[in-house]
Structure 1
Amino acid sequence: MTMTRTADEVARIGDEIYERDVRAQVEAEHQGEIVAIDIDSGCWGLGKNILEARERLDVALPEVNDVFLVRVGEKVIHRFGGRSPRGQQ
């Protein structure tokens, strides 16, 4: 599997597909789960983690190149670092 687009292109197209075609179908009942979207076909897989979502997408489309991953109800999949509690540095 090789990406054929830049990461920025994959993110932009994937976000458009998610907002237009996927979000309404998953948001109510799948908060926190992962969606893997093939940005060429719009086909997607849903799973409790990245591996499960990709496996479900790969069953439908084994030759996927550019995949966008999103956590339902979140802007990011993982957060790194943290924030100090209010008033502490």
Structure 2
Amino acid sequence: MSYPTLDDEEIARRGKEVYETQIRAQVEIAENIGKIISIDIESGDYEINDDLLTTCRRLQMRHNNPILWTERIGFNAVYAVGGTLTRTAL
């Protein structure tokens, strides 16, 4: 099977688009705020967990060579190095 040749910017663009248009309204609820969501940008399938590695592994078990986009639900970044995470508005 050939691998798609998407650059980082295209993966980010598609991941954000899928999250905003198809997933965000369903998952951005109180019990999920701060959790990690990984999204297969081709299928729209996603996994939510407290652990980044767990979300990615679960999607990799369900899909052959998924292209993954990951976010922290309700925040502007997954991790903050030398800064702070900012809560986003719904």
Counterpart of 1:16 in 2: which secondary structure? Answer: helix
1:74 equivalent in structure 2: 75
- After superposition, give the CA deviation of every residue in 1:19-77 in whole Å (9 maximum; x if it has no partner): 1111112111201111111111111111111111112212321421x210000001100
Percent sequence identity is 35
Contact 1:46/1:56, CA 8 A, preserved across alignment: no
Distance 2:49 2:5 in 1: 24
Give the Å deviation of 1:10. Answer: 0.5
2:10 equivalent in structure 1: 9
Residue range with higher mean Cα deviation, 70-79 or 52-61:
52-61
Distance 2:33 2:4 in 1: 28
Distance 2:80 2:74 in 1: 14
Distance 2:19 2:81 in 1: 23
Where structure 1 has 5 or more consecutive residues not aligned to the other structure, the ranges are 84-89
Give the RMSD, CA atoms, in angstroms.
1.8
Where structure 2 has 5 or more consecutive residues not aligned to the other structure, the ranges are 85-90
2:54 equivalent in structure 1: 52
For the pair shown, the structure with the greater C-alpha radius of gyration is: 1
Indicate the structure whose relative CO is greater, using CA pairs within 8 Å and at least 6 residues apart.
1
Which aligned runs of 4 or more in structure 1 are off by greater than 4 angstroms? none
> TM-score of the superposition, structure 1-length normalised?
0.80
